[in-house]
C-alpha cells in the first residue's frame, strides 16, 4: 500500500508540558476512509495527540510533522484545520449553551448576503445537516435544553457543515447511554460509507472492537502498538495488555457483601422541571438503601435518575419537590447540599466541570477542600495532614499528575474525574451517591474505583450508583432499580439481573 493511501501521517511528534512529556516521538498513520480508534489509559496522551493534529496546539508548539492529504500542516488554530477539511469534536463539548442549534452550527462560519449575515439561509441549510446526524429537534431549539447526547449531534452537524474529510471524536460516547452510543457508532459507519475518515478515542473497548478498522494504542506518551483489525484478529485482552503493560485478569473485583438494616429511604418523591413547572420529571419514586449495600439506578437517558438524586440531595435540581426522606429511620429534610453533606450524605455529580472540579485550583486543594474541618487541629489547618490525604488518593486511584500542586485544568479528562471522586471519598459520607463514577475512566482505574466502593460498603457505608453501563451495574451492585419516564419501574436483585431484563423492565407499563 503506497503512502498515498494515508489521509493522515504523523511523524515523530513530541509535546511537552511543564513537568510532563505528554507525547514522546509518536508516529501515527490513518488510511483514507477508515475508522481508526485511539486507545490508552487516562493521561496516555490521546487528547494531546488529536489536539496537535487539529491545530489546537499550533505549529511550533510541538516537535515533529503532521501530514494531511499529502501536505505538511501549519495550522495556527482549529479554524485553519477546519477550512482544510479536518474537524475535531472535543471530549468536553464546546457549544454556546444559550444559542440555538442552527446558530451554533454556523457560528464562525455564517452565510452572508451582501456582507450581512443571512440567518434565514443558515436556518434553511441547517435542516439537511440535522437530518444527516439524525436529530429531529427544530433548529431554533436552545442547546442547553437538550441532552448531552443531542448536543453532541449538533457538534457533529457543525463539523460536517464545514465539509470535513477527517472527523476526530474524543470520547464521543463517554456521556451517552447504550442506545445513544449505538446510534453514534452507526453514524460513524455511515460517514465511512460516504468516504469520510474518522478517528475515535474511546475507553469502551467493546465499541472499539465493533467499529475499528485500525487501532493504535498509546501508553505514557508512546505509541506502543498498532493493529489492522481487517488483517488480524484482535482481542480485548490483547488491547488491555498493551494499554496497561500487564495482564488484567478481572474487570470487576470480588465482592462479599455484608448487608444490614435499612439506613436510607425515600418515599413518594416527585419533582417538576425547573423551567416548565407543570412538567413532572420524577413521579412518585420510592426506594430504600441498606447498610453495606451498593444499589444501582439504571434506565434510558431522560429516565430521571440524575434528577431524582439531585433533587433529594438538598434541592439541587427542579421545582416543587415533594416526598419524604428517612435517614436511619428518622425523617429528615436537606435544605441545601451543604446540609445534606453535614448529615452524612455525599454526592458526586455526572458533570464534573460545572458541579465538581475547580479548574483553576490545584489537585491537592480540589481533593481536600470539602474536608477541611477534619484536616484541622483546633481550627488551624494541618498542612501535613492535607498533603497526606491528597497523596493517599493520588496513589490509590493512580491520579496521573506531575505534582499535587498541578492545576486541575491541566489534568487529562479521566484524571479530573478521579480528583472529583477522591474529594467525595475523603469526606467519608455514610450514604454515598455517585452519578456515572467511571465515565471516561480507563479499565485499570475502573477496577480501582470499584474496589474503593467495595471497601466503603465493607466498612458499613452504603452506595447509590447511577450508571448507564449495564454490565457495570450488574457486576457491581446488590440491587438494581430500573427507572423510566420519571418512574421507578421495578427492582432486581443482583443474581436475577440481566441486560435484557433491565431494558424490558424499563419499557413495560
Ligand atoms: N494543558 C496542560 N498542561 C499541563 N499538562 C497537561 C496539559 N494537558 C495535558 N497535560 C498532561 O499531558 C498528559 C496527557 O494528557 P491527555 O489529556 O492527552 O491524556 P488522555 O490520554 O487524553 O487521557 P484521558 O483518557 O484521561 O482523557 C497528562 O499527563 C496530562 O496531565
Ligand atoms: Mg483525553
pLDDT tens for each residue of 358-404: 888 999 999 998 888 889 988 899 999 999 999 999 998 889 999 99
Q: Are 337 and 424 in contact (CB under 8 A)?
A: no
> Which residues face 137 on adjacent strands?
none
CA 74–ligand 2 middle distance (angstroms): 23
Q: Give CATH superfamily name and number for 3-244.
A: P-loop containing nucleotide triphosphate hydrolases (3.40.50.300)
Q: Are 313 and 433 in contact (CB under 8 A)?
A: yes
Pocket test for ligand 1, best of 13, 20, 92, 421 (most atoms within 8 A of CB): 20
Ligand 1 contact, 20 CB (< 6 A): yes
Pocket test for ligand 1, best of 17, 173, 203, 218 (most atoms within 8 A of CB): 17
Is 335 exposed, middle or buried, given 0-12, 13-18 or 19+ CB atoms closer than 10 A?
Answer: exposed
Could you report the per-residue pLDDT of 135-188, keeping only the tens digit for each?
Answer: 989 999 999 888 778 888 999 999 888 889 999 999 988 878 778 889 899 999
Atom 4 in ligand 1: residue holding the nearest Cα: 410
Task: Name the pLDDT band for 314 (thresholds 50, 70, 90).
Answer: confident
Ligand 1 contact, 438 CB (< 6 A): no
Q: What is the mean pLDDT of residues 492-508?
A: 91
Cell of 385: 495532614
> Which residues face 419 on adjacent strands?
none
SS3 letters across 114-181? CCEECHHHHHHHHHHHHHHHCCCCCCCCEHHHCCHHHHHHHHHHHHHHCCCCEEEEECCCCCCCHHHH
Ligand 1 contact, 298 CB (< 6 A): no
CA 258–ligand 1 middle distance (angstroms): 39
Ligand 1 contact, 366 CB (< 6 A): no
Report the atom number in ligand 1 closest to the C-alpha of 203.
25
Q: Are 249 and 73 in contact (CB under 8 A)?
A: no
Q: Check pLDDT > 90 for residue 4.
A: no
CA 43–ligand 2 middle distance (angstroms): 7
Number of H helices, E strands in the chain: 17, 24
Closest to 503 (Cα-Cα) out of 477, 470, 479, 474? 470
Percent composition of the chain: helix, strand, coil (DSSP 3-state, to 5) = 35, 30, 35
CA 252–ligand 2 middle distance (angstroms): 23
Q: Which ligand is nearest to the CA of 170?
A: 2
Q: Residue 142 CB: number of other CB atoms within 10 A?
A: 14
Question: Torsion angle of alpha carbons 131, 135, 139, 145, nearest 10°?
Answer: -170
Report the atom number in ligand 1 closest to the C-alpha of 44.
21
Is 258-344+429-440+456-509 the same fold as 3-244?
yes
Domain boundaries, the chain: 3-244, 258-344+429-440+456-509, 355-428
Q: How confident is the model at residue 3, as a pLDDT? A: 45
Q: How confident is the model at residue 2, as a pLDDT? A: 47
Give the contacts of 380 (CB within 8 A, at least 6 positions apart): none
Ligand 1 contact, 45 CB (< 6 A): yes
* pTM score, whole prediction: 0.85
Distance CA 494, CA 497 (A): 5
Task: Name the pLDDT band for 354 (thresholds 50, 70, 90).
Answer: low
Distance CA 75, CA 60 (A): 10
Angle at 90 between CA 169 and CA 157, to 5 degrees: 70
Ligand 1 contact, 446 CB (< 6 A): no
Report the atom number in ligand 1 closest to the C-alpha of 401.
31
Q: What CATH architecture does domain 258-344+429-440+456-509 belong to? A: 3-Layer(aba) Sandwich (3.40)
Catalogue the E-assigned strands of 202-318: 214-219, 222-228, 262-272, 280-290, 294-298
End-to-end CA distance of the chain: 56
Ligand 1 contact, 47 CB (< 6 A): yes
Residue 386: strand, helix, or coil:
helix
> Which residues face 167 on adjacent strands?
87, 198
CA 231–ligand 2 middle distance (angstroms): 28
Ligand 1 contact, 44 CB (< 6 A): yes
Amino acid at each position: 500500500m503506497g503512502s498515498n493511501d494515508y489521509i493522515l501521517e504523523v511523524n515523530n511528534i513530541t509535546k511537552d508540558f511543564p513537568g510532563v512529556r505528554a507525547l514522546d516521538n509518536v508516529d501515527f498513520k490513518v488510511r483514507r476512509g477508515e475508522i481508526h480508534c485511539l486507545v490508552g489509559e487516562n493521561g496516555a496522551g490521546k487528547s494531546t495527540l488529536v489536539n496537535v493534529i487539529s491545530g489546537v496546539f499550533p505549529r511550533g508548539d510541538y516537535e515533529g510533522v503532521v501530514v494531511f492529504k499529502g501536505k505538511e500542516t501549519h495550522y495556527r488554530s482549529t479554524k485553519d484545520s477546519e477550512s482544510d477539511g479536518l474537524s475535531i469534536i472535543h471530549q468536553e463539548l464546546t457549544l454556546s449553551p444559550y444559542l440555538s442549534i442552527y446558530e451554533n452550527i454556523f457560528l464562525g462560519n455564517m452565510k452572508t448576503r451582501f456582507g450581512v449575515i443571512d440567518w434565514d439561509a443558515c436556518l434553511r441549510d441547517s435542516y439537511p445537516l440535522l437530518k444527516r446526524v439524525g436529530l429531529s429537534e427544530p433548529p431554533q431549539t436552545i442547546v442547553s435544553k437538550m441532552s448531552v447526547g443531542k448536543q453532541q449531534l449538533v457538534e457533529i452537524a457543525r463539523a460536517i457543515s464545514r465539509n470535513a474529510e477527517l472527523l476526530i471524536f474524543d470520547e464521543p460516547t463517554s456521556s451517552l447511554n447504550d442506545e445513544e452510543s449505538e446510534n453514534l457508532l452507526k453514524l460513524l459507519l455511515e460517514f465511512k460509507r460516504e468516504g469520510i475518515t474518522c478517528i475515535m478515542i474511546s475507553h469502551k473497548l467493546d465499541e472499539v472492537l465493533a467499529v475499528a478498522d485500525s487501532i493504535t494504542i498509546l501508553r505514557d506518551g508512546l505509541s506502543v502498538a498498532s493493529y489492522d483489525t481487517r488483517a488480524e484478529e484482535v482481542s480485548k485482552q490483547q488491547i488491555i495488555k498493551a494499554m496497561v503493560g500487564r495482564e488484567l485478569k478481572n474487570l470487576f473485583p470480588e465482592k462479599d457483601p455484608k448487608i444490614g438494616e435499612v439506613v436510607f429511604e425515600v418515599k413518594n418523591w416527585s419533582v417538576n422541571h425547573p423551567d416548565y413547572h407543570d412538567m413532572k420529571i420524577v413521579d412518585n419514586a420510592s426506594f430504600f438503601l441498606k447498610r453495606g449495600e451498593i444499589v444501582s439506578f439504571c434506565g434510558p437517558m431522560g429516565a430521571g435518575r440524575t434528577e431524582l438524586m439531585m433533587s433529594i440531595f438538598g434541592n439541587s435540581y427542579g421545582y416543587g419537590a415533594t416526598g419524604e426522606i428517612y435517614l436511619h429511620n428518622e425523617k429528615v429534610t436537606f435544605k441545601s447540599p451543604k446540609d445534606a453533606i453535614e448529615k452524612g450524605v455525599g454526592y458526586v455529580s455526572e458533570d464534573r466541570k460545572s458541579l465538581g472540579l475547580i479548574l483553576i485550583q490545584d489537585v491537592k486543594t480540589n481533593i481536600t477542600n470539602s474536608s477541611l474541618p477534619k484536616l484541622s487541629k483546633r481550627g488551624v489547618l494541618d498542612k501535613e495532614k492535607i498533603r497526606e490525604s491528597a497523596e493517599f488518593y493520588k496513589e490509590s486511584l493512580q491520579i496521573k499528575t506531575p505534582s499535587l500542586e498541578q492545576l486541575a485544568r491541566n489534568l487529562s479528562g479521566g484524571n479530573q474525574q478521579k480528583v472529583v471522586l477522591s474529594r467525595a471519598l475523603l469526606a467519608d459520607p455514610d450514604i454515598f451517591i455517585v452519578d456515572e463514577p467511571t465515565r471516561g475512566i480507563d479499565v485499570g482505574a475502573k477496577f480501582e474505583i470499584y474496589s474503593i466502593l467495595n471497601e466503603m460498603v465493607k466498612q458499613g457505608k452504603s452506595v447509590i450508583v447511577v450508571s448507564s453501563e449495564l454490565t457495570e451495574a450488574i457486576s457491581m451492585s446488590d440491587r438494581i432499580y430500573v427507572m423510566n419516564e420519571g418512574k421507578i419501574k421495578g427492582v432486581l436483585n443482583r443474581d436475577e439481573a440481566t441486560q435484557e431484563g433491565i431494558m424490558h423492565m424499563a419499557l413495560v407499563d
